[in-house]
Amino acid sequence: VSYIKFSENRHVFALVDCNNFYVSCERVFNPKLEGMPVIVLSNNDGCVVARSSEAKSLGIQMGMPFFKCEKLIKKNKGAVFSSNYALYGDMSFRIMQTLQKFSPNIEIYSIDEAFLLLDGFNFSLDEYGRKIRKTIKEHIGIPVSVGMASTKTLAKIATRIAKKDAFYDGVFDLTSYKDIDEVLENTAVEDIWGIGKNYKRKLNDCGISTALELKKSDEIFIKKHFNSTIMKILYELRGIPCLPLEEIPQLKKNIASSRSFDEPVEAFEILSKAISSYVTIASEKLRKQNSKAGIVLVYLMTNPYNKNEPQYSNYTIYRLIPYTSYTPFIISCAIMGLKKIYKNGYRYKKAGIILTDIVSSYQTRFQLTNDEINIEDHEKVMKTVDYINIRYGTDTIFFASSGIGKKRNTRCNYLSKCFTTRWNELLLVKA
């Protein structure tokens, strides 16, 4: 079968998943939060993106707008935090470093999840999982759940049980469980990794509502009515891996940067400063992966939730010739783009840019260019700027087109300190 790109040997995938990660990060430096309902908000304090179990029991949903649960959480003496990515990113880095010691083959899947390949380990997987869990808790202070199975999709299911069912206390090994089908029978299709609300509806319409029913479905039928995504899931449920461990991070194919504004923005100058700073952020990421972009896309929009206001949204793309990661050049293209789509008289809520058509810097070494552009000089300049900003802090050097006044035009009223990345924000302990 063409979907099966991976070897047919038995594998053991372990998924290590941090329990409500952002909340746990806040709790490490603020133990009073233990046992309290705690939520962490998205950028601009817009939506709930992490909830402690106590907050979940209050009925606060993932992605819920903050204003809809603000009263509830305050009434229950809960705590609220703005996202502190400097803190969460650093905590994640420490966890991933620690996990490297438990397997030579690891895929960092997201800020709070990693897959480990545990092939050929001839001792108790359950014990090993508990050792991982204990180590992360002791060294970093974050509680994790660990699930093991023969495919990634099954490992996801195992981890969910490890987390949900108190009996397993954070570790569940599906490879040695007596009856996998029994587990799958108790897993709803929409709880499978990769099946969202639309596939759920369509599968339900075909009479498939549990993971077991999908596993036992007729391949020909599924192939006819669904796409390759669902076929892969079907095989993965049967224990045939279709999703390999991706140890080497691939070059990002798109790099985006955008923000919603706290207050609606009308003035072109404010938008162009914002766009300029988005380009700065995205170009840094571009250079960090040693790549260059061929296209910059600029977009803006009014507030789609506000039905009483005239709506306008638009985007434009600019080809970058030659392929580049030189921030000032990309800024000037992006601002030309902005000029093209900007219309006077609208209250803009959000703007952003996307760098795309990204290639490795090695592939661009022999581009034909105008003699006036000295690519080597550009690269040296950006290298120096990046070095200084890493060494002395973000925005030590920045572009005047981003504006020199107050940087933040997004809200973050509940921000905790950068306990692990700034000397002057270290936790103070009185003794």
Partner DNA sequence: TCTGGGGTCCTAGGACCC
Count of chain residues binding DNA (CB under 7 A): 48
The token duo for 242 is: 């279709």
Per-residue contact flags (x/-) with DNA for residues 267 to 286, judged by CB under 7 A: --------------x---x-
Contact between 382 and 388 under an 8 Å Cβ cutoff? The reply is no
Question: What pairing do the DSSP bridges indicate for beta strands 48-51 and 38-41?
Answer: antiparallel
Give burial (CB, 10 Å; 0-12/13-18/19+) of 70.
middle
Residue 260 Cβ, how far from DNA at the closest point, in Å? 4
Per CB under 7 A, does 113 bind DNA?
Answer: yes
Per CB under 7 A, does 229 bind DNA?
Answer: yes
Per CB under 7 A, does 350 bind DNA?
Answer: yes
Dihedral over alpha carbons 140, 146, 151, 154 (to 10 degrees): -140
CB nearer to DNA: pick between 176 and 250: 250
Give burial (CB, 10 Å; 0-12/13-18/19+) of 267.
exposed
Residue 381 Cβ, how far from DNA at the closest point, in Å? 23
DSSP class of residue 33? G
Give burial (CB, 10 Å; 0-12/13-18/19+) of 156.
buried
CA distance 13 to 115: 6
Residue 56 Cβ, how far from DNA at the closest point, in Å? 15
CB nearer to DNA: pick between 381 and 412: 412
Dihedral over alpha carbons 122, 126, 127, 131 (to 10 degrees): 110
Nearest 5 degrees, angle CA 150-CA 151-CA 157? 100
Characterize 405-430 residue by residue with b for buried, 16 or more Cβ atoms within 10 angstroms of its Cβ, and e for exposed. Answer: eeeebebeebebbbbbbeeeeeeeee
Please report where in the chains the tokens 């000397």 appear, as a residue.
423
Of 316, 409, 410, 421, the residue at the interface with DNA (CB under 7 A) is: 410
Per CB under 7 A, does 217 bind DNA?
Answer: no
- Calculate the CA 302 to chain-centre distance: 25
CB nearer to DNA: pick between 31 and 207: 207
Q: What are the residues whose beta carbons fall under 8 Å from the beta carbon of 127, sequence distance 6 or more?
A: none
DSSP class of residue 36? S
Per-residue contact flags (x/-) with DNA for residues 117 to 156, judged by CB under 7 A: ---------------------------------------x
CB nearer to DNA: pick between 141 and 194: 194
Per CB under 7 A, does 240 bind DNA?
Answer: no
Q: How many helices (H) and strands (E) does the chain have?
A: 14, 12
Phi, psi dihedrals of residue 397, rounded to the nearest 5°: -115, 130
Of 28, 36, 49, 373, the residue at the interface with DNA (CB under 7 A) is: 49
Residue 157 Cβ, how far from DNA at the closest point, in Å? 11
Per CB under 7 A, does 319 bind DNA?
Answer: no
Residue 374 Cβ, how far from DNA at the closest point, in Å? 28
Of 16, 73, 352, 382, the residue at the interface with DNA (CB under 7 A) is: 352
Per CB under 7 A, does 294 bind DNA?
Answer: no
Please list every residue from 187 through 216 that binds DNA, using CB under 7 A: 192-200
- Which of 152, 161, 159, 150 has the alpha carbon at shortest distance from 185? 161
Stretch near DNA under the rule CB under 7 A, chosen from 98-106, 254-262, 362-370, 373-381: 254-262
CB nearer to DNA: pick between 52 and 429: 52
Of 110, 314, 367, 413, the residue at the interface with DNA (CB under 7 A) is: 110
Phi, psi dihedrals of residue 97, rounded to the nearest 5°: -60, -45
Contact between 258 and 351 under an 8 Å Cβ cutoff? The reply is yes
CB nearer to DNA: pick between 111 and 418: 111
Of 5, 10, 74, 253, the residue at the interface with DNA (CB under 7 A) is: 253
Per-residue contact flags (x/-) with DNA for residues 2 to 41, judged by CB under 7 A: ----------------------------------------
Question: What pairing do the DSSP bridges indicate for beta strands 106-110 and 79-82?
Answer: unpaired
Per-residue contact flags (x/-) with DNA for residues 52 to 71, judged by CB under 7 A: -----------x-xxx--x-
Of 53, 57, 124, 228, the residue at the interface with DNA (CB under 7 A) is: 228
Per-residue contact flags (x/-) with DNA for residues 299 to 318, judged by CB under 7 A: ----x-xx------------
The token duo for 47 is: 């939506």
Which residues would be at the binding site for DNA (CB under 7 A)?
42-44, 46-47, 49, 63, 65-67, 70, 109-113, 156, 192-200, 227-229, 250, 252-260, 281, 285, 303, 305-306, 349-350, 352, 410
